[in-house]
């Protein structure tokens, strides 16, 4: 595998930003690793999103994601979005436009990544779970599958529950009126969505996680919509990297990859 930290200029953000990228590499001699990736092909890609307190390097520092994907022939793109909630901020930068439009185009211009819907996937944890499902709901034509690990799926109640997410952050991102019944409200988006057009969804959360209630609410709505999805509750698990390190391995096995 090739692990690359890429600094590039974003026209949307008006500044230089970073992404960490894992690319398949054809090798049989690296100890403990092997890959049959073809040098000329465009690889399936997983956009892997970080949480509120983290950055584009966090998945490689807290998990063994590079090792987990080593034999899958899939690229992993991990972008940096600060504390934006993957949103065109009310007082700030247009991170939604960046993540949904500009980032895929730039990534494909720099690396051999597939543009086919059936070979594009997105996943994330906490704030990144919110971002992954927002991409699935607002850009279903771009992704075949999306996964949320302990995601912030009911943003309207999160304002009052998360000690690490201050009111100033909330207003900077969503404005004084908040996101309720807007395109930044996943509950609202799901109620309006055509279930037949959505990517297949994977959702998991621990029962000891403060975001558990919001995950239950979202799962119930998915069932009512008859949307294609997998939902898992894990007894006693909390908002922790021990949990996400395990679950990202399950997500990778679940992805509808065509080998």
Q: How many domains does the chain have?
A: 1
Give me the domain span that covers residue 41.
2-254
Average pLDDT on 181-186 reads 97
CB proximity list for 255: less than 8 A, separation 6 or greater: 46, 74, 121, 145
Statement: residue 193 has pLDDT above 80: yes
Whether residue 252 is predicted with pLDDT greater than 80 in this model: the reply is: yes
Would residue 136 count as lying in a domain? yes
In a domain, 115, yes or no: yes
Cβ partners under 8 Å of residue 128, min gap 6: 48, 49, 50, 51, 86, 149, 151
Over range 107-128, report the average pLDDT: 98
Number of CB atoms found within 10 A of residue 55's CB:
16
**Residue 259 covered by a domain:** no
Assigned domain for 88 exists: yes
* pLDDT tens profile 67-82: 999 999 999 999 999 9
Look at residue 112 and tell me if it is in a domain: yes
pLDDT in the model for residue 162: 46
Q: Is residue 37 part of a domain?
A: yes
pLDDT at 176: 85
pLDDT tens digit sequence for 30-89: 656 655 555 558 999 999 999 999 999 999 999 999 999 999 999 999 999 999 999 999
Q: 21: closest CA among 63, 97, 74? A: 74
pLDDT at 258: 82
Q: Examine residue 16 and state whether it is found in any structural domain, yes or no.
A: yes
**Cα angle value 23/29/247 (rounded, 5°):** 45
130-148: per-residue pLDDT in tens? 999 999 999 999 999 999 9
CA proximity to 49, closest of 156, 200, 150, 165: 150
The reply to whether 50 falls in a domain is yes
Report residue 15's pLDDT band, with 50, 70 and 90 as the boundaries.
very high
92: CATH? 3.40.50.1820
Q: How many CA atoms lie within 13 A of 175 on its CB side?
A: 10
pLDDT of residue 128: 98
Where residue 86 falls (left for φ over 0; alpha for ψ -120 to 50; beta otherwise) is: left
pLDDT in tens, 145-175: 999 999 999 998 877 654 455 557 888 899 8
Q: What is the pLDDT of residue 1?
A: 86
Percentage with pLDDT > 90 across the chain? 84
d(CA 237, CA 95): 30
């Amino acid at each position: 595998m090739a692990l690359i930290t890429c600094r590039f200029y974003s026209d949307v953000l008006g500044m230089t930003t970073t992404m960490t990228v894992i690319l398949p590499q054809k090798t049989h001699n690296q100890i403990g690793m092997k890959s049959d990736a073809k040098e000329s092909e465009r690889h399936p890609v997983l956009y892997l999103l970080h949480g509120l307190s983290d950055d584009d390097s966090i998945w490689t520092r807290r998990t063994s994601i590079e090792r987990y994907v080593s034999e899958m022939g899939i690229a992993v793109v991990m972008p940096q979005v600060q504390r934006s909630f993957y949103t065109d901020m009310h007082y700030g930068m247009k991170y939604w436009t960046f993540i949904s439009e500009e980032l895929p185009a730039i990534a494909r211009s720099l690396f051999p990544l597939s543009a086919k819907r059936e070979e594009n996937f997105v996943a994330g944890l906490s704030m990144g779970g919110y971002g992954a499902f927002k991409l699935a709901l607002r850009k279903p034509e771009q992704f075949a599958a999306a996964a949320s690990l302990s995601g912030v799926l009911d943003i309207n109640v999160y304002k009052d529950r998360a000690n690490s997410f201050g009111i100033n952050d909330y207003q900077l991102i969503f404005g004084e009126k908040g996101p309720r019944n807007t395109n930044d409200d996943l509950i609202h988006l799901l109620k309006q969505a055509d279930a037949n057009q959505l990517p297949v969804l994977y959702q998991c959360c621990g029962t000891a996680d403060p975001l558990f209630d919001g995950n239950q609410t979202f799962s119930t709505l998915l069932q009512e919509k008859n949307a294609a999805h997998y939902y898992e509750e894990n007894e006693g698990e909390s908002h922790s990297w021990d949990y996400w390190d395990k679950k990202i391995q399950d997500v990778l096995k679940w992805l509808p990859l065509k080998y």
